[in-house]
A and B are shown apart, each in its own frame.
Chain A
Amino acid sequence: MEVVYITIGVSIVVAVGFFIVFIKTVKSGQYDDTYTPAVRMLFDDELVLEKDEKQIKDSKTKTN
């Protein structure tokens, strides 16, 4: 049953990992604007319809 030490260790490492990721996302401002990205996501499709290659490229670089 010494494996308990490992499983607990692993589970805590995973949990702490998620915790750090969450803090990072907050810091980077991901939750500052929860509305616009949802709308923006739909625009890229509209641009494809226009069949203008330059615009497609532009929109891709922007979403990066």
Chain B
Amino acid sequence: MSKGNCYHCGIEFTTEIIPFDEKKFCCNGCKTVYEILNINNLNCYYDLESAPGTIPTEIKGKYNYLEEPEIISKLVEFDDGDTTVVTLYVPVIHCSSCIWVLENLNKLNEGVKTSIVNFPKKTVRITFKNVEVSLKEIVELITSIGYEPYISLEDADNNKRKVDKTLIYQIAVAAFAFGNVMLLSFPEYFEVEEFWLDKYKVLFRWIMFTMSVPVVFFSAKDYFISAYKGLSHKILNIDIPIALGVFVLFVRSTVEIVFDIGTGFFDSLTGLVFFLLLGKFFQQKTYSFLSFERDYKSYFPIAVTKLNKEKEENILVQDIQIGDRLLIRNEELIPVDGILINGEAMLDYSFVTGESLPVGKNSGDKVFAGGKQTSGAIEMEVLETVSQSYLTQLWSNDVFNKNEGKNIKNITDSISKYFTMAILIISTLAGVFWYLKDPMIAINVVTSILIIACPCALALSAPFALGNMLRIFGKKKFYLKNAEVIEKIAKIDTLVFDKTGTITSNDESKLEYQGAELSSDEKSNIKRLVRSSNHPLSRALYDFIEENTTEKSIVAFEEIVGKGIQGEVDGDFYKIGSASFVDAEKDNSFNTSIYISINNKVKGKFVFKNSYREDVEKVFSSLNKEYDLVILSGDNEGEKNYLKSILPENTKLIFNQKPENKLEYIKSLQKEGKKVMMIGDGLNDAGALAQSNVGISISENINVFSPACDAILDASLFQKLPQFFKLSKKTMSIIVASFIVSFLYNFVGMYFALTGNLIPVVAAILMPLSSITIVVFVTVLTNFFAKNS
């Protein structure tokens, strides 16, 4: 039964309700944000959207490092001693209220001059007077109202990422020239013998020529470069006939107007380049709020607190030396491998492994980089520097340094090889034939063939089909790095899945009670006891027990670190904790369990079970028909039998894989000639994701964490994977079909060219017509298939 929702964040109330100012809040954090906004007349926040907020996180001391001048200078964009400009990435920006409140920061702090939100990129650009307010205060301010910025090593490394706008300029030039040249050449299409037209045609022609020059040498320059590169690598790519076509069009047209033979093909030339660039542009859809290039740097903090003879000091993560003592606060990430010196560690390795349950460590234990501390502050001594740590040394593997050059053969290039050969042979034969018959026409015919064969429609098929499918996938929350990924997906024959966090769900670890039944009184007593403990397992258990807590008092409550809790309620003595703590027999299951004993009599245990995603069985059985399936898990074999029972028989199950093992396994599959897709989530899959032909990262929250990959899939859509694969394959068939259509156009054009009858008006009609029909053809078909799947 619903008890209502929090006024600030909209979360449904489960436990307690905090009433304030006639509104209801789920926690003190939400209440505080409301108070801050209320005092500063920013109530409008709640009018724009209902329940727009997020719960602010505890940050005490977390941003102390932002006081260091060295770190500040790495983060800010501009600083003239008085005014500072900084752009912060705030992943939680999600609605218009967020934009509004972040753009009104100047009402919360006088030092802020302006703040401007870029919604698609989820960034806020803040200009502030650095004498009145420091960067640290700004960050703490926006964190206190629930908008914690995400500051990472990556930000410090490459501050300015410039967007390349050359293509837009190229299109602008081509479009401008195309429109004007069309107008100017229009009179000559009809060859009207008219005095005034005849008088001005020289002027018209030279204006057209002037406009075409930048189109050839600026807009189309990438085709010449690519054709040259293709030739020097001995690859006949699609850009060779294009470059040849553009070149011949330009030279022949120039010759025609110089010797007053005709009007030239400037309209076709500019139109051709314009359409081609448009195709390129359409394919270039990027998701600016996602990053497909993340490495460990974007997960790690910039600075840590170093303990120097009882004095705290902030140092950059890169500067950590072996032997340093570090202070890791609650909710901070452990940046390097080390030994726990002081405090109780509960490390959440979900970024690394996908496992959502925190792992407990005691002083003296080794702790690995990547874990997030979840209970209080700890001290640790450094054993390895950042780049040498267990997790991060994965990135020294060559996989992460390889540049995916242009050497990958795509479908257009593989067909263009034959196409280019055919064109060259036909034009040579025709040239020889006409030279013998009528040498005057020979040049005319050969250039006509090269013009008409210029594979505009052919070159447009793939960009539009892939570009459109990329957008359709994006709408369905399957985000691809670029259009080529669709082609790669269509070729895959082996699928490798990570287990934890990929086929199991990340945040809902299911509990199950095993043992003698507990009465509802006993359950509520247990709930009362675990309420007094901050241990993550206790909290999970607290949420799991449905009974209400009793308000009976606890006698002799004690929490024994690393073991469990005990106490007396209602005259009964309860012990809740590990097997050894309650003197229970430890069974052989690998699952985390909480044992319960009442009056020293073991009752039973609560077992944490990974909950598998919806329809895992269905997904696997439908994929099994077409693909080899492998489960590659970093976990122990605890669930092997269960997995065997639900997955298809020939699924390979491999356990206890370290990050490097996963990478090597993918490599060995590839050596067998298999096209491998890796589907994973955590940082420990990063190597495998990079090595595989296609790496898909499954993410519960697409805005925040995902390792470098080719595609990001929203976790809730896991069961749709087979459909996405099918659609990718269909896209490739559509492209092949459109190739056939564009060949037909070429045959028609070839008739005019071979007979020496190619006049400008024919080229001017045929070229745009073929391009536009191809674009319509592939767009309609891709939309049709997407809708029907």
Contacts and interface: CB of A to CB of B under 8 A. Distances in A.
A58 B116 CA distance: 13
Given A39-B96, A50-B41, A26 B119 contact: no
A18 B180 CA distance: 13
A6 interface: no
Contacts of A58: 106-107
Interface string A1-44: 10011001000100100010011001100001111100110110
Interface residues of B, number: 31
A34 B118 CA distance: 9
B433 interface: no
Interface string A48-59: 001010010010
A4 B200 contact: yes
B180 A12 contact: yes
Contact of A36 (B99, B106, B107, B172): B99
A33 B119 contact: yes
A39 B99 CA distance: 8
A46 B44 contact: yes
Interface in B278-324: none
A35 B120 contact: yes
Interface string B150-179: 000000000000010100110011001001
B486 to A, nearest CB: 25
Contacts of B47: 46
Contacts of B169: 23, 26
Contacts of A12: 180, 207
B48 interface: yes
A22 to B, nearest CB: 6
B723 interface: no
A15 B99 contact: no
Nearest to A22: B172
A60 interface: no
A26 B107 CA distance: 32
Interface in B197-212: 199-200, 203, 207
Nearest to B211: A12
B510 interface: no
B119 A47 contact: no
B642 interface: no
Given A26-B168, A40-B99, A8 B180 contact: no
B119 A39 contact: yes
Contacts of A5: 203
Contacts of B652: none
A36 to B, nearest CB: 4
B580 interface: no
Given A26-B172, A33-B121, A62 B207 contact: no
Contacts of A52: 41
B140 to A, nearest CB: 22
A8 B196 CA distance: 14
B165 A27 contact: yes
A8 B203 contact: yes
Nearest to A36: B119
Given A8-B203, A47-B44, A50-B41, A62 B118 contact: no
Contacts of B176: 15, 19
Contacts of B173: 19
A62 B180 CA distance: 39
A33 B122 CA distance: 11
B454 interface: no
A35 B117 CA distance: 10
B99 A23 contact: no
A1 B195 CA distance: 11
A23 B165 CA distance: 10
B41 A36 contact: no
A42 to B, nearest CB: 8
A35 B121 CA distance: 10
Contact of A19 (B106, B118, B172): B172
Nearest to B196: A1
A30 to B, nearest CB: 12
B390 interface: no
A58 B115 CA distance: 12
Given A1-B196, A8-B203, A32 B96 contact: no
A45 B173 CA distance: 39
A20 B119 CA distance: 28
A12 to B, nearest CB: 7
Nearest to A31: B168
Contact of B118 (A8, A32, A55): A32
B718 interface: no
B165 A26 contact: yes
A55 B44 CA distance: 12
B100 interface: yes
A15 B254 CA distance: 23
B522 interface: no
Contacts of A34: 120
Contacts of A55: 41, 107
23 contacts: A4-B196, A5-B203, A8-B203, A15-B179, A19-B173, A19-B176, A23-B169, A26-B168, A26-B172, A32-B118, A33-B120, A34-B120, A35-B119, A36-B118, A36-B120, A39-B99, A39-B119, A40-B117, A42-B96, A46-B47, A46-B100, A47-B44, A55-B107
Given A12-B207, A35-B120, 7 more contacts: A8-B203, A8-B207, A15-B179, A15-B180, A33-B119, A35-B119, A50-B41
Interface of A: 1, 4-5, 8, 12, 15, 19, 22-23, 26-27, 32-36, 39-40, 42-43, 46-47, 50, 52, 55, 58, 62
Interface of B: 41, 44, 47-48, 96, 99-100, 103, 106-107, 114, 116-121, 163, 165, 168-169, 172-173, 176, 179-180, 196, 199-200, 203, 207
Nearest 5 CB-CB pairings of A with B: A36-B119, A33-B118, A35-B119, A39-B96, A19-B176
